[in-house]
């Protein structure tokens, strides 16, 4: 069952049984979330990039508002994260924590302007991309069909002007850099790419992104990384 009210609750869907719980021993890092969620994938991408073992507890979306999850995340969203006895939610906070405490590739630039660009893009994802594209075009073109739900064509059409602003601005901010914050991959790339990948496979996304070859090249660059393959929906569904 799903609610499709045009807001964030659009992501409340009930999944088939194949989304069973998964437990991995040997790790004190646990991510709770629904496979396929762009926000969950951003956290998994950071862990993969830093080569940190983790347990993904796979939830069905119907579980996000159940008491067990509300104890972890009182707002009933995903991801939730634990490291030992430390509990955390909110993707940006989780991403920064992962980069701060674990060794491996640095995912935050040191230079202040590069850091500002990273932070800016993370804010753009949270405040504009997810709201204006995620809950409209992505929901209707990617999420709804995956669960046999009807597509709201009018909502997709109505979302295009704001989607165009998002695409134009994301392209402008990345510019000719290989990554959002410059020469090195950062948390901003990891946060943006799951949303952008979904957008790119929608007809509206293909059309809106068409004038932005640099942005398409950025997407392909990130998609080529092993972390993306390791966190694909197929992989997350298969993993035992
Ligand atoms: N501000 C939150 C947003 C997370 C979010 O909205 N996640 C969606 C999935 S992509 C969600 O939890 N949907 C479940 C629901 O609304 O029940 C974060 O950064 O973690």
3-state secondary structure at position 92: helix
Predicted structure pTM score: 0.91
Q: What's the CA gap between 183 and 219, in Å, rounded?
A: 15
pLDDT for res 26: 61
Query: How close is the Cα of 105 to the center of ligand 1, in Å?
Result: 26
Q: What's the CA gap between 144 and 22, in Å, rounded?
A: 24
Q: What's the CA gap between 61 and 73, in Å, rounded?
A: 14
Q: Which helix (H) or strand (E) holds 31?
A: strand 29-33
Is the previous residue joined to 79 through a cis bond, with omega within 30 degrees of 0? yes
Taking the domains of the chain in order of start, what are their residue ranges? 8-106, 112-227
Classify domain 112-227 at the CATH topology level: Glutathione S-transferase Yfyf (Class Pi); Chain A, domain 2 (1.20.1050)
Question: Ligand 1, closest atom to CA 76?
Answer: 17
- For residue 40, give both structure tokens: 């969950």
The dihedrals phi and psi of 163, each to the nearest 5 degrees, come to: -65, -35
Which DSSP state fits 150? P
Ordered per-residue pLDDT tens for the chain, 240 residues:
122 222 333 344 444 333 444 455 567 999 999 999 999 999 999 999 999 999 999 998 889 999 999 999 999 999 999 999 999 999 999 999 999 999 999 999 999 999 999 999 999 999 999 999 999 999 999 999 988 899 999 999 999 999 999 999 999 999 999 999 999 999 999 999 999 999 999 999 999 999 999 999 999 999 999 999 999 999 998 865
pLDDT for res 146: 85
pLDDT for res 240: 53
Does 8-106 match 112-227 in CATH topology?
Answer: no
Q: What's the CA gap between 128 and 132, in Å, rounded?
A: 5
pLDDT for res 5: 27
φ/ψ bin of 36: left (φ > 0), alpha (ψ from -120 to 50), beta (otherwise): left
The dihedrals phi and psi of 83, each to the nearest 5 degrees, come to: -130, 105
Q: How crowded is residue 72: how many other Cβ atoms within 10 Å of its Cβ?
A: 18
3-state secondary structure at position 116: helix
By most ligand atoms within 8 Å of CB, the mutation choice from 8, 32, 63 for ligand 1 is 8
Classify domain 8-106 at the CATH topology level: Glutaredoxin (3.40.30)
Query: How close is the Cα of 17 to the center of ligand 1, in Å?
Result: 21
**H-only helix segments in 110-176:** 112-124, 144-146, 153-174
- For residue 14, give both structure tokens: 């009930």
pLDDT for res 51: 97
């Amino acid at each position: 069952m799903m609610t499709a009210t045009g807001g964030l609750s659009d992501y409340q869907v009930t999944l088939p049984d194949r989304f069973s719980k998964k437990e991995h021993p040997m790790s004190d890092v646990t991510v709770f979330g629904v496979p396929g969620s762009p926000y969950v994938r951003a956290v998994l991408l950071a862990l993969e990039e830093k080569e940190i073992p983790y347990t993904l507890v796979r939830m069905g979306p119907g579980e996000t508002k159940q008491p067990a999850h509300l104890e972890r995340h009182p707002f009933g969203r995903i991801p939730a994260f634990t490291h030992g006895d430390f509990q955390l939610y909110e993707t940006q906070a989780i991403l920064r924590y992962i980069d701060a405490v674990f060794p491996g590739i640095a995912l935050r630039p040191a230079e202040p302007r590069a850091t500002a660009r990273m932070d800016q893009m993370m804010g753009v994802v949270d405040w504009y991309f997810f709201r204006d594209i995620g809950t409209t075009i992505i929901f209707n073109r990617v999420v709804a069909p995956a669960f046999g739900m009807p597509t709201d064509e009018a909502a997709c059409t109505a979302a295009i002007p704001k989607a165009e602003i998002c695409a134009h601005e994301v392209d402008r901010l990345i510019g000719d850099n290989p990554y959002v914050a410059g020469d090195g991959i950062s948390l901003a790339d990891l946060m943006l790419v799951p949303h952008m990948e979904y957008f790119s496979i929608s007809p509206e996304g293909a059309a809106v992104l068409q004038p932005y070859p640099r942005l398409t090249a950025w997407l392909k660059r990130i998609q080529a990384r092993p972390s993306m393959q390791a966190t694909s929906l197929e992989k997350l569904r298969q993993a035992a």
